[in-house]
């Protein structure tokens, strides 16, 4: 039944009406599903609101949701400082080497663990022996700037409602669809994604669409301006 209902796809949501929730997802895992929401200071009440959010409730309608197990988790949002010292190297989440939207925390945990072990075996465990370790992940640190830039663009487009326009455009624009897919699939870097979005042709299309949408965005923003 779960396979029929959800297929083998992750169902992702950007619930514009539930502003605290940056994004949510329903992930089929064979004999069960995982429902995630992400954002700052979320509580079980936000999860209840998400479950009642019409596109979500339509998807989970009729499923037996008794005994739902709520679990609060945290994940890093920026690279950490001081990840090595004398006889220690941080690995996994503690390094903060996570990518917005892609996460890939398990990959990072494996990669950093393997690299730390390799350097310890080859170089030793003193602070100077471990100094090669942070540099091994310079590519992830370099991509962090672009990840943040992209996140900012997403938040802006959600706040102005422009994201709906982008989604509509992506339905008939395979190039834009491919770029959006790369954002969440984990393929390539944010540097590449930002570069592709800011290609002259794509920027012109998005810019044109944005300015057409601007009056609507201003109207949308007005009620909260006096708060
Ligand atoms: C809801 C959610 C969904 C996720 N989904 C995915 C996914 O689909 N794919 C993916 O790649 N990543 C996913 N992640 C991220 C992934 O789980 C983490 O990035 C990964 O587990 C990090 O591994 P870690 O070993 O660094 O830390 P953890 O797996 O958090 O391990 C740290 C361990 O240290 C223990 N610990 C903490 N403090 C102490 C202490 N003082 N003394 C002793 N032990 C202690 C903890 O109990 C824990 O067992 C998800 C995370 C969350 C929260």
pLDDT tens profile 131-183: 999 999 988 888 888 888 878 887 888 777 777 888 888 888 888 888 778 77
Q: Is residue 65 part of a domain?
A: no
Q: Is residue 49 part of a domain?
A: yes
Domain finish residue from 107, 136, 165: 136
Q: Is residue 193 part of a domain?
A: yes
For the chain, the straight-line distance linking the first and the last C-alpha, in angstroms and rounded, comes to 46
Condensed to tens digits (0 to 9), the pLDDT of residues 28-69 reads 988 888 999 998 899 999 999 999 999 999 999 988 877 788
- Do 115 and 91 lie in one domain? The reply is yes
Domain that holds residue 219: 142-225
- Do 146 and 221 lie in one domain? The reply is yes
Q: In which band, very low, low, confident or very high, does the pLDDT at 227 lie, cut at 50, 70 and 90?
A: very low
Contacts of 47 (CB under 8 A, 6+ apart): 35, 37, 70
Q: What is the pLDDT of residue 68?
A: 83
How far is it, in rounded angstroms, from Cα 135 to Cα 145? 17
pTM over 0.95: no
Between residues 208 and 123, the one the model is more confident about: 123
- Do 180 and 119 lie in one domain? The reply is no
- Do 47 and 101 lie in one domain? The reply is no
CA of 93 to the centre of ligand 1 (A): 7
Between residues 3 and 50, the one the model is more confident about: 50
Ligand 1: atom nearest CA of 105 is 19
Ligand 1: atom nearest CA of 75 is 53
% pLDDT > 90, the chain: 34
For a pocket test of ligand 1, which of 39, 105, 117 has the largest count of ligand atoms closer than 8 A to its C-beta? 105
How far is it, in rounded angstroms, from Cα 144 to Cα 197? 17
- Do 124 and 167 lie in one domain? The reply is no
Q: Is residue 92 part of a domain?
A: yes
- Do 41 and 110 lie in one domain? The reply is no
Handedness of CA 52, 58, 62, 64 (dihedral sign): negative
Number of domains in the chain: 3
Contacts of 105 (CB under 8 A, 6+ apart): 75, 92, 93, 98
- Do 160 and 201 lie in one domain? The reply is yes
Q: How many residues does the chain have?
A: 227
Q: Is residue 74 part of a domain?
A: no
Q: In which band, very low, low, confident or very high, does the pLDDT at 86 lie, cut at 50, 70 and 90?
A: very high
Contact between residue 100 and residue 147 where contact means Cβ atoms under 8 Å apart: yes
Condensed to tens digits (0 to 9), the pLDDT of residues 64-83 reads 877 788 999 887 888 899 99
- Do 131 and 150 lie in one domain? The reply is no
């Amino acid at each position: 039944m779960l396979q029929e209902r959800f297929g083998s796809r992750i169902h992702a949501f950007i619930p514009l009406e539930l502003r605290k929730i940056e994004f949510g997802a329903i992930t089929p895992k064979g004999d069960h599903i995982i429902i995630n929401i992400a954002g700052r200071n979320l509580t079980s009440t936000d999860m209840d609101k998400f479950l009642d959010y019409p596109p979500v409730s339509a998807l989970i309608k009729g499923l037996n949701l008794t005994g739902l197990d709520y679990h609060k988790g945290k994940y890093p949002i920026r690279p950490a400082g001081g990840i090595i010292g004398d006889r220690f190297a941080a690995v996994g989440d503690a390094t903060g080497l996570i990518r917005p939207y892609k996460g890939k925390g398990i990959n990072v945990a494996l990669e950093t663990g393997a690299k730390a072990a390799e350097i310890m075996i080859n170089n030793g465990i003193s602070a100077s022996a471990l100094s090669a370790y942070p540099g091994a992940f310079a590519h992830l640190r370099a991509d962090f700037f672009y990840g943040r830039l992209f996140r900012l663009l997403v938040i802006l487009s959600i706040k102005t409602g422009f994201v709906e326009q982008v989604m509509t455009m992506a339905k008939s624009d395979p190039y834009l669809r491919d770029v959006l897919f790369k954002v969440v699939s984990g393929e390539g870097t944010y540097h590449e994604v930002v570069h592709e979005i800011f290609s002259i042709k794509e920027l012109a299309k998005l810019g044109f669409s944005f300015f057409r949408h601007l009056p609507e965005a201003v109207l949308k923003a007005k009620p909260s301006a006096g708060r």
